[in-house]
Amino acid sequence: MALTIQWLGHACFAIRRDDYTLVIDPYNSDYINGYPKLRVKADKLLVSHEHYGHNYREGVVLSGRPEADCPFEITALKAPHEFKMGAWRGFTLIHILKADGLKLVHMGDLGTQLDGGQITQLFGADVAMVCAGSCTALPSQEAKRAMDEIMANVVIPMHYRHDGMGAHRLETVEDFANQFESPELIHYYDTDTLTVTPGMEPQVAVLKYLGPTAFGDLVPEEKKTEKKSLLRRFLRKG
C-alpha cells in the first residue's frame, strides 16, 4: 500500500492511498499571485477555512465515490486564524488524517500557538504540513515552535512565496528553514511528491512546485466546455 503527499501549490495537497485521492485546501488562482488555474480530480475534498486561498471547490472534480471508500480516519480541530483569537480573520481547521498506522496533519492557516489539548492530539505526527510564509498565519519562527511542540517527524512547509508565486508579503521557505539549527534536516526535493513510510528520517521536506502538468489527475476545463457544446448540438438535432 502506497501513501503519498503531492504539493499542488500554496496550501493545497493531493494525499493518496493507493487509488484513493483526497485533496485539501484548493486555491483560487484569481486571488493567489502567480499560480495557474487549479482543476483536479479527487475522491474527497477538505477545506480548512473559507478564504480564497483555501476553498476553491470549483477547482476539484469529485468522483462520487461513497464515503465508506475513504481509507482515512479524519479528525478536525478548530483553531484561531490570527493572534486576535479569531476576532479578525475567524478560525481555521487543523485536519488529522490517519491511515496504515500513520498520522498526517494539515495545519491550515494556524495563527496562534497551540493549546495543551491540541498538542496532545497532534503530538507525534508522522508528517505535518504547516504554513511557512507568515502574513496571516504564524511567523516562521512561531511555526517552527509549533512543530517542536508536537514533535512532528517530517515537516512539509507550505503557503510561502517562491519563484514569483504567492503574495509578496509572504516569507520565503528559506526564512522558515533558517529557524532550524541543523542544516542537515532540510531536504530540498526535485519532485512535488513525498512517499510516506513508517520510521521515515526526520526532516523538513521542501517539495518542488512542478505546475499543473505534474498533476496526474488534472482535468482541463476546455475539454469540459467542449463536451457541453457537443451535447447541446446533439440535443438541438434531436
- State the CATH number of the domain containing residue 226: 3.60.15.10
Instruction: Tell me what pLDDT residue 105 has.
Output: 97
Name the band, by pLDDT with cuts 50, 70 and 90, for residue 30: confident
List 131's β-bridge partners, or say none.
158
Q: Going by C-beta distance under 8 Å and a sequence separation of 6 or more, which residues neighbour residue 120?
A: none
**The pLDDT of residue 231 is above 80:** no
- What residues make up the domain containing 227? 3-237
Give 46-55 pLDDT, tens digit per residue. Answer: 998 776 777 8
What distance in Å separates the CA atoms of residue 175 and residue 17, rounded to the nearest whole number? 32
Instruction: Tell me what pLDDT residue 85 has.
Output: 53
Question: 111 or 84: whose pLDDT is higher?
Answer: 111
Instruction: Tell me what pLDDT residue 86 has.
Output: 44
**Under 8 Å between Cβ of 102 and 198:** yes
Give 176-213 pLDDT, tens digit per residue. Answer: 999 998 999 999 999 999 999 999 999 999 999 998 77
Averaged pLDDT of the chain = 85
Mean pLDDT of 85-97: 74
Q: Cα-flanking dihedrals φ and ψ of residue 18, to 5°?
A: 55, -120
What distance in Å separates the CA atoms of residue 45 and residue 87, rounded to the nearest whole number? 27
Cα angle value 48/54/58 (rounded, 5°) = 115
Q: Within its chain, how far is the Cα of 134 from the centroid?
A: 15
Number of domains in the chain: 1
Cell readout for 140 is 516562521
| 3-class DSSP assignment, residue 143 | helix
Q: Within its chain, how far is the Cα of 15 from the centroid?
A: 9
**The pLDDT of residue 104 is above 70:** yes
What distance in Å separates the CA atoms of residue 146 and residue 224, rounded to the nearest whole number? 42
Instruction: Tell me what pLDDT residue 135 has.
Output: 67
Name the band, by pLDDT with cuts 50, 70 and 90, for residue 233: very low
Instruction: Tell me what pLDDT residue 178 has.
Output: 93
Name the band, by pLDDT with cuts 50, 70 and 90, for residue 236: very low
Cell readout for 237 is 438535432
**The pLDDT of residue 227 is above 50:** no
Name the band, by pLDDT with cuts 50, 70 and 90, for residue 234: very low
Q: Could you tell me which of 51, 44, 46 has the C-alpha nearest to residue 159? A: 51
What distance in Å separates the CA atoms of residue 155 and residue 160, rounded to the nearest whole number? 14
